[in-house]
Amino acid sequence: MGRMRCAIVGSGNIGTDLLYKLLRSDVLEVAAMVGIDPASEGLARAGAEGVETTSEGADWLIENAAGFDLVFEATSAWVHRLNAPRYREAGLTAIDLTPAKLGPLVVPPVNLDTHLDSPNLNLITCGGQATVPIVAAVGAVAPVPYAEIVSTVSSVSAGPGTRQNIDEFTKTTSASLVEVGGADHGKALMILNPAEPPILMRNTVFCALGDGYDREEVADSITEMVRTVASYVPGYRIKAEPVFDEDLFRTPGGDVKARVVVLLEVEGAADYLPPYAGNLDIMTASAVRVAEAMAAAR
């Protein structure tokens, strides 16, 4: 069987970073990059790599659907809400990199196998991809009544799509901490930092710990998960050992006597934007991971 034929819809930061990762894949073929602005840099770069490009948007893709197996949506949440039913009708499987949250939420090391045959998979947000694995790792060995994450990205790495999506970002990421991470309650915070030179993507995970956890077990589970994520996002790392704080914390999941704090950093592979943009990297690396698993399961 030949390589899976993929279309990237959206020629902004995410779409362009994804382009370079897909070009390296042995099982996926970038058959087209679909944009709406003929002057976009992403389309020019795709063209330079010999990839077919169009500025006629999703309409073009629907007309030519027979030539594709898979579409990566790298536009924005509201655009995906318009496109998704049309993809489905045209028989295209969609991997959604916007926070539209139409299909099941997928985080590769947590629940990839469960949703491989779904017609629409949602990759949550960069913050979700970076933090849900940690919440799930803590949850695997201890009760987590409440999980909270803070995701900070450099201003220059957040394009207009991300900025207009900030509300969806916050809500979808919060939901993923519960739906995929397994916490009883979840909350996500997103911060943009304009410092120059730009900061690397930062994520902080706070997990409330119910009674009966074992520090060593929790720490080991986190370390193991960091290693798993780093296997497909090489720049993903923990900044310091997990910090255990004992105090009375009055969380939305009830009063707890302890929490664990995990400080994470994501350095990008610099496929498109420089290394500070780990937020692009973790989304596109996760998307490739999901698509390659689909190809393997065919």
Partner 1 sequence: MTAAFRLTDSTLRDGSHAVAHQLTEDQVRRVVAGLDGAGVPVIEVTHGDGLGGSSFNYGFSHTDEMNLVRVAVETATKSKIAVLMLPGIGVKDDLRRVAGMGVRVARIATHCTEADISEQHIALAKELGMEAVGFLMMSHMIEPEALLEQARLMESYGADVVYTVDSAGAMTIDDARRRVATLKAGLSCEVGIHAHNNLSLAVANSLAALEEGVDQIDGCMTGLGAGAGNCPTEVLVAACEKTGWETAIDPISLIEVADRAVRPIRPEQGVIDGDGLLLGYAGVYGSFLLHAKRAAERYGVPTRDILLELGERRVVGGQEDMIIDVAMELQHRAASAQPAAI
Instruction: Give the nearer residue to partner 1 in terms of CB position, either 190 or 285.
Output: 190
Among this protein's residues, is 126 annotated catalytic? yes
Nearest to 204 by CA among 266, 246, 249: 266
Instruction: Tell me the closest approach of the beta carbon of residue 84 to partner 1, in angstroms.
Output: 21
Q: Which is nearer to partner 1, 63 or 239 (CB)?
A: 239
Cβ-based nearer residue to partner 1, 243 or 296: 243
Across 39-54, b (16+ Cβ under 10 Å) vs e yields ebebbebbeeeebebb
Smallest distance from partner 1 to CB 186, Å: 11
- Minimum distance from CB of 113 to partner 1 (Å)? 31
Q: Which residues contact residue 103 at a Cβ distance below 8 angstroms, ignoring those fewer than 6 apart?
A: 94, 96, 115, 118, 119, 120, 121, 122
Name the residue with tokens 């894949």. Answer: 25
Interacting residues toward partner 1 by CB under 8 A: 148, 150, 152, 155, 160, 163-164, 166-167, 169-171, 187, 189-195, 202, 204, 206, 208, 239-240, 243, 245, 249-252, 259, 261, 263
Give min distance, CB of 109 to partner 1, in A: 23
In the beta sheet, which residues pair with residue 70? Answer: 6, 93
> Angle, to 10 degrees, between the axis of helix 215-230 and the axis of helix 126-139?
140
Which is the catalytic residue, given 126, 175, 183, 207? 126
Q: How many CB atoms lie within 10 A of CB 6?
A: 27
Distances (CA, A) of 227 to 70, 75, 147, 218: 29, 30, 21, 15
How many alpha carbons fall within 13 Å on the CB side of residue 81?
8
- Beginning with the edge strand found earlier in the chain, give each strand of the sheet holding 4-9 in spatial order: 52-54, 28-34, 4-9, 70-73, 93-96, 120-122
- Distance of closest approach, residue 227 Cβ to partner 1, in angstroms: 21
* Alpha carbons 92 and 85: distance in angstroms, whole number: 10
Tell me the closest approach of the beta carbon of residue 204 to partner 1, in angstroms.
4
Burial (CB < 10 A; 0-12, 13-18, 19+), residue 194, is exposed
Measured from the CB atom, the residue of 64 and 155 that comes closer to partner 1 is 155
Toward partner 1, which CB reaches closer, 48 or 240?
A: 240
Note the Cα 253 to chain centre separation in Å: 25
Residue closer to partner 1 (CB basis): 6 or 273: 273
CA distance 243 to 26: 40
Q: What residues are annotated to the active site?
A: 126
